[in-house]
Amino acid sequence: MTINEQKLNEFMGKVVNDIGAAASAVMALVGDQLGLYKTLAKKSMTTQELAKATKTSERYVREWLGNQAAGGYVQYDASSQKYSLTPEQALALADEESPVFVQGAFQVISAMFKAEPKLTKNFKTGQGMGWGEHDANLFHGTERFFRPNYKGNLISSWIPALDGVLEKLKKGALVADVGCGFGSSTILMAEAFPKSKFIGFDFHPESIAMAKKRAKQKKLTKNISFEVVKSTEYPGKNYDFVTYFDCLHDMGDPQGAARHVLRSLNKNGTWMIVEPFAGNSVEENLNPVGRVFYAASTCICVPSSLASNGPALGAQAGENILKELIVSSGFSRFRRATHTSFNLILEARP
C-alpha cells in the first residue's frame, strides 16, 4: 500500500482539529456553567480580573482562557494581557436571548458522551435507548439549543409562510403543540397570539413539569396549558393548528402520530412539521450541518425510535421520506413552506 504523504498530513490536520474541538466542548460547558463567557462579554479582563469577578481559581481560568483563545472563542491582546469577546462571539456564547446562542449544543454533546457505553452495546444488539434514559443535560441542552432558533424564526417567518395560519392565530385558534418538551415553542406562540389557546403535549413527565414552571414564570395562565400524553393519544378535536417541532423523526410510531393529527384537526386545519434540515440522499447531507445531525441521530434520535420498536427515521430522513409518510397517513396536501440552514418547515393539510 502506497501512502500519499500530502493526503495523510491533510487528514491528520482534520483529526487534530476534531480532537481540539471535542476537548474544547468540555471547556465550553465549564465556561457556560461558571458564567465566564457572560462576565467576559461585559469588558476585557486579565486572568486575575476574570477569576475575581467569577469567584474562581485564577490558575484554572488562565488555562481555560488559553484554550479559548487558541480556538478562536475569545480574543487575546498580548500588549495588555487581557482577554475579551467580540460582539459576535458574545451573541453566540453569552447572550441567552440571542437567536444564535449555542451553549445548549455543548450540553447535548455532554449527554451524548454519557450515553456512549449503552450506545456501543446497542450497536451489537440493535436495541434502543428511550429519551428518558439519557442524562438530564440532553433535555436542558436541547431546549437551550432549539429555543434561539424558534425565537428568531417561528413568529417572524415560519408561521407567516403557512397558508392562512397567521390570520387564524391573530383572531383566535385552538392549537396543539405535540412533543413540546420544556414548552419553548408553546410559550412563544402563546405570548405572540393571546387570543388563541395553546396546549402543549409531551410523553416525558419531567419536561412537562418544566414547561408548566416556565409558563408560570412568564405569567401565562389564560391561554396555555400542558399535559403528559403520547403523540398518538393526545385529547381534543377540531384543532385549527397542530405543531411538531423537531420530534416526528424520533417517534416510535410516526405514522400513527400523523394519523392522530389528521383525526384531531378540523377540515380547514394545518399541521406544521419542523424537522432538521436534510437532503433526500446521503451525498446531499455530507456537509458540516449533516455531520452534526447524523451524530445526534446516532446517539439520540434513532435509539429513541428503536426503544419503541419504531422505524428509526433518523434526523436526516429527508423531505421525500417525510412526505411519503404524511401523505400515506391520509393528508391530501403537503409542501415545504420554508426552510433555514438547520430546519425544514413543512405544511400538511387534510
pLDDT tens figures, 68-82:
999 999 999 999 999
- Residue 125: exposed, middle, or buried by beta-carbon count in 10 A (0-12, 13-18, 19+)? exposed
Span 78-107, mean pLDDT? 96
Question: Is the predicted pLDDT of residue 187 greater than 90, yes or no?
Answer: yes
C-alpha cell at 346: 413543512
DSSP, res 347 = E
In the prediction, which pLDDT does 221 show?
84
Percent of the chain with pLDDT over 70: 100
Residue 239 is predicted with a pLDDT of 98
* 233 grid coordinates: 393519544
Distance from the first to the final alpha carbon of the chain: 59
Q: How confident is the model at residue 218 (pLDDT cuts 50, 70, 90)?
A: very high
If you write DSSP's letter for every residue of 269-306 in order, what string do you get? EEEEEEEE---SSGGGG-SHHHHHHHHHIIIIIHHHHH
Alpha-carbon gap, residue 91 to 38, rounded angstroms:
10
Q: What average pLDDT score do residues 164-168 get?
A: 98
- pLDDT over 90 at 267, yes or no: yes
Domains observed in the chain: 5-93 (1.10.10.10), 103-349 (3.40.50.150)
C-beta of residue 304 within 8 angstroms of C-beta of residue 343: no
> How far, CA to CA in Å, does 104 sit from each of 12, 67, 301?
29, 20, 17
Q: Which DSSP string do the residues of 32-60 spell out, in sequence order?
A: HHTTHHHHHTTS-B-HHHHHHHHT--HHH
Residue 1 has pLDDT above 90, yes or no: no
Mean pLDDT confidence for 292-310:
97
Q: Which three cell numbers stand for residue 315?
A: 434526523
Q: What is the mean pLDDT of the chain?
A: 97
- Give the pLDDT confidence score for residue 271 in this predicted structure: 98
The grid coordinates of residue 73 equal 472563542
